[in-house]
Amino acid sequence: MAPVPARPGDADLATRASHGDEDACRALIECHRDAVYRLIRSQTADADAALDLTQESFIAAFTNLHRYDLDRPFRGWIMRIALNKCRDWRRRQMVRRFFWQAQPLDGSLDVADERPGPDAEASSRQELARTREAIQRLPDKLREVLLLRTVEEMSQAAVAQFLGVSQKTVETRLYRARLKLTELLAKPTSAL
């Protein structure tokens, strides 16, 4: 499989940015910010976290520009950094959730249920939230393939190259992701 060529100008901008050119940094951000944000937003289902992680991704990229291969697409490189930031974020969320859900020894702290009441939101918003929650429960490898193919509308070949796996692996993971998502959504709301 032939590598996807770098976008014209990315290598030049990255070289200039690595030498401290702020205009080149801004140009790279302008060109790739929306795609990075969409990817992160689809991974986290949290707009505020997505903004923070997008910023963290670009900071990490500019800090490590010396590692960027000028012959490869900058977008692929920054998207991989963004995926890693999302994985770190999910791990932190799991730890926080664990400690938040832990019951105090004396049982004196009662926490109200944060879910909206039945009249608080329209049915479509509830179903969207339920679907996002189910997507978040998918294993990383399945969720990444599903979101890259459906949200980012990347081709199977592009996803395979981006993740460093075969197209058959992408196809299998996509099939399993859809199957697992259907299974999760078939469960009652309280089971999610």
What pTM, to 2 d.p., does this model score?
A: 0.60
The Cα 184–Cα 137 span in angstroms is: 9
Domain map (residue ranges) of the chain:
1-100, 122-192
Q: Would you identify the CATH topology of the domain 1-100?
A: Rna Polymerase Sigma Factor; Chain: A (1.10.1740)
The Cα 32–Cα 192 span in angstroms is: 34
User: Which residues, 6 or more positions from 53, have their beta carbon under 8 angstroms from its beta carbon?
Assistant: 40, 44, 82, 85, 86, 89
Closest CA relative to residue 118, chosen from 189, 37, 22? 189
Q: Which residue has the tokens 């990817």?
A: 39
Whole-number Cα distances in Å, 2 to 70, 76, 161: 16, 14, 9
The Cα 176–Cα 178 span in angstroms is: 5
Which pLDDT score, from 0 to 100, does residue 154 have? 84
Rounded to 5°, the CA angle 122-124-127 comes to 115
Which pLDDT score, from 0 to 100, does residue 86 have? 92
pLDDT tens column, 137-159 = 999 999 999 888 887 888 888 88
Indicate the average pLDDT of the chain.
82
Q: How confident is the model at residue 116 (pLDDT cuts 50, 70, 90)?
A: low
Q: Would you identify the CATH topology of the domain 122-192?
A: Arc Repressor Mutant, subunit A (1.10.10)
pLDDT tens column, 89-112 = 988 887 777 666 655 555 545 555
pLDDT > 90: what percent of the chain?
Answer: 39
Which pLDDT score, from 0 to 100, does residue 181 have? 86
Q: What is the largest CA-CA distance in the chain?
A: 63
The answer to whether residues 174 and 149 touch, using CB atoms and an 8 Å cutoff, is yes
The answer to whether residues 185 and 157 touch, using CB atoms and an 8 Å cutoff, is no
pLDDT tens column, 70-82 = 988 999 999 999 9
